[in-house]
Amino acid sequence: MSTSLLYHAFGIVGYFYQSTCFIAGVIVVATQADHWRLRCPVCKSREIHCRGKVG
């Protein structure tokens, strides 16, 4: 899988592909945020503060 597939198949933008694993019948795709492309969805500013993470 690649970052291009994340975009074209799932519409995921602004993330890099890391790995894929199969756990208990579920496909888990690990990604990492591309902090350079991260922007506020309202004003498009790069001056944002990220809080929280899913891991």
Tokens in use for 43?
């004003």
Q: How many separate domains does the chain show?
A: 1
For the full predicted model, state whether its pTM sits above 0.85: no
Q: Yes or no: say if 32 and 18 are a contact pair by the CB < 8 Å rule.
A: yes
Residue 40 makes CB contacts below 8 A (sequence gap 6+) with 46, 47, 48
pLDDT digits (tens, 9 = 90+) for 11-48: 887 788 899 999 999 988 888 888 777 788 789 888 87
Q: Yes or no: say if 5 and 17 are a contact pair by the CB < 8 Å rule.
A: yes
Give residue 17's domain range. Answer: 1-55
Q: Yes or no: say if 29 and 45 are a contact pair by the CB < 8 Å rule.
A: no
